[in-house]
Structure 1
């Protein structure tokens, strides 16, 4: 396995996010100028595959209205890692965060997009470890 660092992972993710890996709910607003848009859930799962830790989810609010959810990671050492936070450019706020346990087995919701993102990132970084369970 070729060694890589967090900057390598960030670059590989940014080069791999695309319309075909965006959440269908977010696809109407996705564009290459904001490639992280609609990718937080599968990105958080991929980071969890690589580093373990916790999955964290919060509610996204804009103008006082909930507009969905946002996912990120809390690593085992307590550091919170959010590689898609910059997608929020219109003043959205994230509230009501909670840690969620990753269900065992394969990714069911957005499984095809998750596998495609894993494949693209792996093509850039080299073989990735098996998903954390």
Structure 2
């Protein structure tokens, strides 16, 4: 599967993978809630690129940059428009937003759906 096909499929794969097991903030109404750090890590595992962050009213929001393009698979959790700062981040900072159990769960679930 090509990288561009993987990127196109990633949103659907993530929607099928997110659950209370990947974020304690997950709800049926807002399945994307609280998924930014763990999602940025797993997307980085699968697609490479860089992890970026932007400060929002709730704290740091993590997302990915792949081949020079921003991909924020978790933006829909917010009711506000995001003014991206594209501050370079890293796996260690993104991991502060999740834990090993949630990360392992989401990584395995994404692999299963790919």
Instruction: Identify, as 1 or 2, the structure richer in strand.
Output: 1
RMSD over equivalenced CA pairs, Å: 2.1
Unaligned stretches of 5+ in structure 1?
Answer: 62-66, 126-133
Of 48, 56, 59, the match for 1:68? 59
Alignment match, 1:5? 6
Of 25, 30, 33, the match for 1:37? 33
**Superimposed CA distance per residue, residues 38-77 of structure 1 (whole angstroms, 9 cap, x where no aligned partner):** 000010011111221111111112xxxxx221100111x2
Match of 2:8, SS state, is: helix
Moved over 4 A (4+): 92-97
Task: Give the Cα separation in 2 of the matches to 1:6 and 1:95.
Answer: 20
Unaligned stretches of 5+ in structure 2?
Answer: none
Q: Mapping of 1:1-133 within 5 angstroms? A: 3=1, 5-22=6-23, 24=24, 27=25, 30-61=26-57, 67-75=58-66, 77-89=67-79, 91=80, 93-94=82-83, 97-103=86-92, 109-125=98-114
Q: Which protein is bigger by CA-based radius of gyration?
A: 1
**Superimposed CA distance per residue, residues 71-106 of structure 1 (whole angstroms, 9 cap, x where no aligned partner):** 00111x2100100001002x2645654102334xxx
Cα contact 2:51–2:62 (8 A) shared by 1: yes
TM-score, normalising length from structure 1? 0.70
